[in-house]
Amino acid sequence: MVLILGVSAGAGGARALLTHSDQPHMPPVDRIRVSRRAGGSVEESVLTAIHRMRAAAAERDEYISGTAVTCRSELQADAIRAAAGQADFAIVDEPLAQLRYLRFSGLLPATDSVMLYDLGSSGLTITHADCRTETILASKRSTALSGNGYDALLRWQLARSGVSADAHATREHRESLSRTRVVTAADADTGGRAVLTRSDLAALCEAGLHHSASFVRLLIEETGVQPGALALLGGCTRNPSLRADLAQLIGLPIVYDPEPEYVSARGAVLLCARRPSARLRMPRRGAAVIGVPPRQGRRKLLAAVAVTATLGGTVAGLLSNENTSARSPEQGTAPTTAHFIDGAPHWKPN
């Protein structure tokens, strides 16, 4: 079989799927998720995912005709290229991959532009894209809300109930609330138990969602173009309550793929199949990175922003403590470089 490997790079690691170039919407032949290790880099996760997928395909006598990796910035793309050395794969712009797949799958309505709402582990990226010319009209990123932040808030809420949970367990609880309405968290040391509901998570997310709604309105004002839909991307958008709240706050038709965290990788497959050797970039009319919400006149939004600031301090403290405890003195934070031995990446500190 001749297959295409699509990989998406994110702050939490990499996701890769192997599929036929004309069937990225179908269940893939193979897939893998490589979490970013403590002290590791995004490029390490990407190259590890590529190596594992290629090795697994070779064992099954399958031929990978091309590989494409999505990146959200030139800085990230340059880091991956530097670590990869002479490795052969294409670097593609993540919003372009997302838009290309949404159009291919027929999820997008007949509209001139769309808002891509990508909520991942490290933050939120909102991109206003022209569907006809595949041009980015405007893009903004915020770290005021993220999967890691919500996990930290869930741990804080559990701690108030006398239940201690690590980062991995809390993430599992959050992801479980996307599938069921109620989960029970248990403390292995004390035997304590606490119940978490979707309503609990929705309450923790409320301020951040108001903040993101102001983001969307700001981009619409900047571009002067009314989008025809809001496409929800990233694993955090699996939660039904979050999707319903966003639809009510923003007032746009919602576009949602059942596996929103794999949309980027599926789009990479399409781009690689068309231009397997090119370094593709999406034309950009404007881009910015900001970390604080714009001022709004509405009292409700001001209140939401105030809550976000209060919770943000709690989240920052929790995440800071986790990052400190996750690294031993021997690990440190030194960057790593890939050295290929027998085709496999081996990581050494620079």
What pLDDT is recorded for position 307?
Answer: 42
Q: CB–CB of 78/88 below 8 Å? A: no
What pLDDT is recorded for position 202?
Answer: 87
Q: CB–CB of 74/92 below 8 Å? A: no
Specify the pairing of strand 2-10 against strand 13-19. Answer: antiparallel
* Phi-psi group of 162: left, alpha or beta (phi > 0 → left; psi -120 to 50 → alpha; rest → beta): left
What pLDDT is recorded for position 144?
Answer: 82
- CA nearest 117: which of 254, 283, 296, 271? 254
Q: How far is CA 25 from the centre of its chain?
A: 19
* Phi-psi group of 332: left, alpha or beta (phi > 0 → left; psi -120 to 50 → alpha; rest → beta): left
What pLDDT is recorded for position 277?
Answer: 38
Q: CB–CB of 78/211 below 8 Å? A: no
Q: What is the CA radius of gyration of the chain?
A: 20
Q: CB–CB of 256/7 below 8 Å? A: no
Residue 270, both tokens: 């399409």
What pLDDT is recorded for position 143?
Answer: 86
What pLDDT is recorded for position 201?
Answer: 87
- CA nearest 255: which of 115, 132, 136, 141? 115
Average pLDDT per block of 10 residues along the chain, 350 residues long? 90 94 93 93 96 96 95 92 89 95 92 94 93 92 88 91 90 90 91 91 89 92 95 92 92 94 96 58 41 36 43 48 42 41 47
Q: What is the mean pLDDT of the chain?
A: 81
Alpha-carbon torsion (130, 133, 136, 137), positive or negative: negative
Phi, psi of 174 (to 5 degrees): -65, -45
Distance, CA of 220 to CA of 234 (rounded, Å) = 21
Q: Is the pTM of this model over 0.85?
A: no
What pLDDT is recorded for position 245?
Answer: 92
Residue 24, both tokens: 């990225």
